[in-house]
A and B are shown apart, each in its own frame.
Chain A
Amino acid sequence: MTDRAPAPVREDARLLSVRNLKAHFFLDEGVVRAVDGVSFDVFPGQVVGIVGESGCGKSVTVKAILQIVEQPGRIVAGEILFRRRSWGAEGDAGGEAVVDLARLPPRGPEMRAIRGAEIALIPQEPMAAFSPVHTVGDQVIEAIRVHQHHWRPEGPPVSRGEARQMTVDLFRDVGISMPEQRVDAYSWQLSGGLRQRAMIAMALSCRPRLLIADEPTTAIDVTTQAQVLNLLRELQRKHRTAIIFITHDLGVIAQIAHYVVVMYLGRVMEQGPVDAIFHAPKHPYTRALLRSIPSVRSAPRARLPIISGSIPHPFNRPPGCPFHPRCQDALPDKCARRVPGLVAVGEQQAVSCFLHHDVEDRA
């Protein structure tokens, strides 16, 4: 498998550009800076993997993109520039327009038209994402009819019968056998793999330009995971859908992403093309992380190199570089006091570490 579509050309047509995004949670006990200055770009047809451990802010980042950060959290700074299709007043479906999602009211009509239709989400736990009292087919049909202008910008509204036929076709596309019967099934009647496929069908129902997959394979078994990853890869190739793929599994990232963003405690530690991240990692965190994972190819029963300590509690964020207390190469006077900025070190690779540059993040 894994003949990934060739990495897309870097034409200057960013689909999504996240600039210095900050999303904080205002709790009684203090402020949790869940996302604290994150920047990255997504190009059409590209798979961007966001990798990080718990509390690194990867889920909050994509929730911010969709404007679904829960209370008491909110976006406090930054831009989320998204190139959306523009639907002119006369119904001409040709143009494109760049909007800043961070400025849109979360419940406003524009955000609602984008959410689900132009940017779709595949959640981690499909059991919790589907309603158990409606059939999976009805839920996909509803999505199609709500966002029907994507199917047919002009002309009459999509009828229920048409939407049902589209759903059956979608189910067939994502590899669900017996789609005519399965549209009438409830989510709890489906196995984990089928449920995740149905979720993918629903996410694709409005032909989004950007698909956000939040740990889509964490809850399913390894043989089913392989099937789901293959399906995503195929869809990405066929429709040139861009995908933001969130996971903590470095194996999955290595096999599916073109470009990787490594996060730790709400900040981007390093980002670059997948090959550079795995074969020429620059940040001490990326390097330590890669060394510490047992691999099916490594020698058995050998001591693993470890990262000492543990991820700090969100209220006890260390000053300076968030990784410095666990970093073996920390520069004593510098890393504990100043926050390194994310600076390009190669053609497409950028790293926030004083070992590689001397640029402080002042934002």
Chain B
Amino acid sequence: MRSDAASAAAASLLEVRNLRKFFPIQKGFARRVVGHVRAVDDVSFVIREGETLGLVGESGCGKTTTARCILRAMVPSDGQILFRTREGRVVDLAPLSRKDLRPLRPQIQMIFQDPFGSLNPRMTVFDNIGEPLLVNGLRDRRARMARVEELVGLVGLRPEYMHRFPHAFSGGQRQRIGIARALATQPRLVVADEPVSALDVSVQAQVLNLLLELQGRLHLTYLFVAHDLSVVKHISDRVAVMYVGQLVETAAAGAIFTRPRHPYTAALMRAVPVPDPRLPSGDVALRGEVANPASPPPGCYFHPRCPFAVERCRAEPPALREVAPGHLVRCHLAEELTLPGIGADDGGELGAPAPGLSASTGPTGIRA
């Protein structure tokens, strides 16, 4: 991790170091603390300026908690969140008070999952998008109007619609309004938590295209949290995979999809059903269920489900380490394993015979 951080230090916009967020489990009348849910357990990563980092994992893996800690909607239990401000200062967001956070808030904004719940139904589109501007001191209604009009145009909505209420819009249009609101304060980092998962298939593509287009035009940096691997692959430059509160693998999108190094990442990819009946996929690659983050197993958290687990995995927790330039893995066996990915990216090293077929014959196994 350190070496990755050092090499990218110059261009990094956000660096998360050893982030932890534990929720206490209370019991009985006295609300005695009997344990902790380790929602985020030692997560470190870097987001470079202008790139998209896709954060994937199954429900309960801590991806949303990580995003909320970065937004400081939650107070992290431990760790650092180093953010490079517009002025070039590096600030640790983790220990800041609400008052100290205020001037930084405009620079980090969020796009929400649910376009129906995230807009105030009693406020017009203009008021919804203008609210962050008002809060940040743009009192002049006419100036605000001009800025909102510009934002509405930016996300592809007609300015005439500005004075309507959210209920008059479809899910995709509402998500555009939510995006306009997030962009109102000219943020540098946009945290998007499942921004397309509530949308219909035919509308998802429109919103993904919009996000890509805005990124190019406004030089935005995205932290894109999602569970859908195809969406993440489509939008991300780099991908980070989480499992039970830990980061298990992070690498460039092309590299992680063609050659995953962690057995969990590979299993996740094999489980995705491909929309082509000629490519059998959607494999049952894992037995059992996700570990309980309140009492994770000893050693590697993934070992009870891992087909390659050896004695060492049961006893010794693996560290996140660099196995190839920019490719970090939390697995003792990362070097020994050859895991199938899902190819056909621009590298194109996996050719005509459907890569899904090689995947379904199972991982090649350990060459120890």
Point out residues on A near B: beta carbons under 8 Å: 1-3, 53-54, 191-194, 221-227, 229-230, 248-256, 274-275, 278-279, 288-290, 292-308, 310-311, 313, 326
**Chain A residue contacts of B343, Cβ below 8 A:** 297
**Chain A residue contacts of B344, Cβ below 8 A:** 297-299
Contacts A297-B343, A301-B235, A306-B209 given; 18 further ones with Cβ under 8 A? Answer: A53-B202, A193-B289, A223-B58, A225-B282, A226-B271, A226-B282, A226-B285, A251-B275, A256-B273, A275-B277, A289-B202, A293-B275, A294-B233, A298-B234, A299-B344, A307-B206, A310-B170, A310-B200
> Across the interface, do B345 and A300 meet the contact criterion of CB distance under 8 Å?
yes
> Across the interface, do A1 and B201 meet the contact criterion of CB distance under 8 Å?
no
A259 to chain B, nearest CB (A): 11
B172, B282, B286: the one within 8 Å of A1 (CB) = B282
In the complex, identify which listed stretch (B33-41, B97-105, B131-139, B223-231) lies at the interface while the others stay far away: B223-231
> Across the interface, do B254 and A229 meet the contact criterion of CB distance under 8 Å?
no
Q: For A257, give the chain B residue with the smallest CB separation.
A: B277
A278 to B267, CA, bound (A): 25
**Chain B residue contacts of A298, Cβ below 8 A:** 230, 233-234, 344
A193 to chain B, nearest CB (A): 6
With A295-B230, A296-B230, A307-B205 given, is the CB distance from A222 to B212 under 8 Å? no
A53, A226, A308: the one within 8 Å of B201 (CB) = A53
> Across the interface, do B227 and A254 meet the contact criterion of CB distance under 8 Å?
no
B59 within 8 A of A: yes
Q: For B253, give the chain A residue with the smallest CB separation.
A: A300
Q: Which of chain B's residues 261-308 have a Cβ closer than 8 Å to chain A?
A: 267-286, 289-290
A337 to B276, CA, bound (A): 35
> Across the interface, do A278 and B58 meet the contact criterion of CB distance under 8 Å?
no
B18 within 8 A of A: no
**Chain A residue contacts of B214, Cβ below 8 A:** none
A302 to B209, CA, bound (A): 8
A2, A223, A248, A299: the one within 8 Å of B267 (CB) = A223
> Across the interface, do B227 and A304 meet the contact criterion of CB distance under 8 Å?
no
> Across the interface, do B275 and A222 meet the contact criterion of CB distance under 8 Å?
no
B259 to chain A, nearest CB (A): 14
A360 to B274, CA, bound (A): 35
A248 to B39, CA, bound (A): 31
B12 within 8 A of A: no
10 A-B pairs whose Cβ atoms sit less than 8 Å apart in the complex? A225-B273, A226-B285, A251-B275, A255-B281, A293-B275, A296-B257, A296-B272, A296-B274, A302-B234, A304-B234
B124 within 8 A of A: no
| Interface pairs A-B: 9 shortest CB-CB | A251-B273, A2-B280, A294-B234, A221-B58, A304-B205, A292-B205, A53-B200, A250-B275, A310-B170
With A222-B227, A296-B229, A298-B344 given, is the CB distance from A307 to B277 under 8 Å? no
User: Which among A253, A295, A311 has the highest number of chain B CB atoms within 10 Å?
Assistant: A295
**Chain A residue contacts of B229, Cβ below 8 A:** 222, 296
B139 to chain A, nearest CB (A): 35
**Chain B residue contacts of A295, Cβ below 8 A:** 230, 274-275
**Chain B residue contacts of A307, Cβ below 8 A:** 202, 205-206
**Chain A residue contacts of B289, Cβ below 8 A:** 191, 193-194, 224
A227 to B270, CA, bound (A): 12
A169 to chain B, nearest CB (A): 21
A330 to B346, CA, bound (A): 34
**Chain A residue contacts of B285, Cβ below 8 A:** 223, 226
Q: For B235, give the chain A residue with the smallest CB separation.
A: A301
> Across the interface, do A296 and B233 meet the contact criterion of CB distance under 8 Å?
yes
**Chain B residue contacts of A288, Cβ below 8 A:** 202
> Across the interface, do B284 and A221 meet the contact criterion of CB distance under 8 Å?
no
B342 within 8 A of A: yes
> Across the interface, do A254 and B274 meet the contact criterion of CB distance under 8 Å?
yes
A14 to B27, CA, bound (A): 57
A253 to chain B, nearest CB (A): 8
**Chain B residue contacts of A299, Cβ below 8 A:** 344-346
A311 to B173, CA, bound (A): 11
> Across the interface, do A304 and B208 meet the contact criterion of CB distance under 8 Å?
yes
A4 to B205, CA, bound (A): 30
B300 to chain A, nearest CB (A): 17
**Chain A residue contacts of B355, Cβ below 8 A:** 297
**Chain A residue contacts of B212, Cβ below 8 A:** 301, 303
**Chain A residue contacts of B204, Cβ below 8 A:** 292-294
> Across the interface, do A311 and B282 meet the contact criterion of CB distance under 8 Å?
no
Q: For A310, give the chain B residue with the smallest CB separation.
A: B170
B9 within 8 A of A: no
